[in-house]
Amino acid sequence: MPKFAPLNVPFPRRRQTASVAFWMILVPLCIFLFLELLLLSYVTRSIALVYFLWVMQDQAHNQGARRVDWLRKLSLWVWFRDFFPISLRKEADLDPSKKYLFGYHPHGVISLGAFTAIGTEACNVSTLFPGLNIRLLTLESNFKIPFFRDILLALNVASADRKCINHVLGGEPGSAVMLVLGGAAEAMEAKPNTNTLVLKTRLGFIKLALAHGASLVPTFAFGENDIWDQVPNPKGSLVRKFQTIFKSFASFSPILFHGRGIFTYDYGIMPYRRPITVVTGKPIDLPKIEQPTEKELLEYQRQYIAGLQEVYDKYKDEFLPGRKAELIIS
């Protein structure tokens, strides 16, 4: 027998569940809406086509998004935050006369901690870092989805593309981006009670930060891997082979994740109610170097990894008491 949610769940909790369910269906909903417009009538079809043409030429995702503050401040995101709950804390203040490249780890299934803490004001990120304008970056393909792309842009989410990072970090002081560095490879390792990162092969972000003299901020999200289970995919398994082939065609990997349901606790694609604590580490100031040597890149990568490890070690017992493995950085 599946474990059903009791009927007397208090209203605030129902509201939290509804907001997460809404987020889970948002992409299909946006696509459905666009198809409806295309099919409904001549008038709606014209609207859809004009919108499509406008999207084709819109470059906002490569120019640091199109921030709309009231959308970031909706109560919806506070309910969403409290479902888990998700919180944000910092190890150091960040001087708004500098620029920053935040790295976020681990990727998790869809980096919901980064979305909530940085992509909305639910954790008061703008108050926590006065004078900073942090753009959360995500796969460029997300900006091809009708309407969803506009919601992302309004939430100050932009494209994780070199072009966009150069545009933002080339801007005014206080400009910042947050990159989920592990990418699709790390998403395949997103399993509860483990923290396996793909980081040693990543040097591009160091190069970009050096080109602009931006400071690096290692950020660790305790619990990001705990909110969904994933179908076992050990190296060499059929599931993993399929995921790896798929990843070489698309830029993301098909994660076979599962969690709880809306009305049941055993099966479904809803995440589990488990806490995520996002901690931003101490900034690592970099000089401005246009053409760094391999040795320089590796040295700053070493400093970055040391900073990340420091954050992990400081809070692992407090925020990951049930962990089954320590931080693995490969």
Q: Closer CB to ligand NAG, residue 123 or residue 217?
A: 123
Minimum distance from residue 87 beta carbon to ligand NAG (Å)? 7
Nearer to ligand NAG, 125 or 206 (CB): 125
CA dihedral 303, 253, 187, 26 (to 10 degrees): 120
80 Cβ partners below 8 Å, 6+ apart?
A: 16, 19, 20, 23, 116, 120, 122
My answer on whether omega of the bond before 234 falls inside 30° of 0, hence cis, is no
H-helix segments, 129-225:
148-154, 162-169, 183-187, 204-212
As measured in angstroms, the least distance from the Cβ of 85 to ligand NAG is 9
**What number of other Cβ atoms are within 10 A of residue 9's Cβ?**
12
Provide, rounded to whole angstroms, the least separation between the CB of residue 124 and ligand NAG: 4
Cβ-proximal residue to ligand NAG, closest one: 124
Smaller CB distance to ligand NAG: residue 278 or 308?
278
Q: What is the pattern of x (binds ligand NAG, CB under 6 A) and - over residues 10-49?
A: ----------------------------------------
Q: Where are the beta strands (DSSP E) in 15-164?
A: 86-90, 100-105, 133-138, 157-159
Cβ proximity to ligand NAG, 5 vs 128, nearer residue: 128
Burial annotation 100-109 (CB, 10 A radius, 16+ → b, else e)? bbbbbbbbbb
Could you tell me which residues are beta bridge partners of residue 329? Answer: 197
The contact mask relative to ligand NAG for 145-184 (x = CB under 6 A, - = no) is: ----------------------------------------
Nearer of residues 128 and 139 to ligand NAG, judged by Cβ: 128
C-beta of 87 vs 195, nearer to ligand NAG: 87
CB of 158 to ligand NAG, least distance (A): 24
Within a 10 A sphere around the Cβ of 225, how many other Cβ atoms?
28
Q: How far is the CB of 86 from ligand NAG (least distance, A)?
A: 9
Q: Compute the least distance from the CB of residue 83 to ligand NAG, in Å.
A: 14
Helix, coil or strand: residue 87: strand
In the block, which residue shows the tokens 């969403």? 80
Contact call for residue 141 and ligand NAG (CB under 6 A)? no
- Least distance (Å) between residue 127 CB and ligand NAG: 6
Q: At what angle are helices 112-119 and 75-83 packed, to 10 degrees?
A: 150
CB-based contact 80:23 (threshold 8 Å): yes
Contacts (CB under 6 A) with ligand NAG, residues 91-130: 123-124
Q: How many residues bind ligand NAG (CB under 6 A)?
A: 2
Backbone torsions φ then ψ of 149, nearest 5 degrees:
-60, -40
> In angstroms, what is the minimal distance from the CB of 155 to ligand NAG?
17
Whether the Cβ atoms of residue 236 and residue 48 lie closer than 8 Å to each other? no
* Residues of this chain, 267-286, that bind ligand NAG according to CB under 6 A: none
CB atoms within 10 A of CB 148: 19
For ligand NAG, give the closer residue by CB, 44 or 124: 124
Q: Could you please report the per-residue DSSP string of 181-196?
A: TTHHHHHTT--TT-EE
Q: Which is nearer to ligand NAG, 119 or 292 (CB)?
A: 119
Q: Whole-number minimum distance, CB 81 to ligand NAG, in Å?
A: 7
- When the beta carbons of 240 and 274 are compared against ligand NAG, the nearer one is 274
- Residues at the interface with ligand NAG (CB under 6 A): 123-124
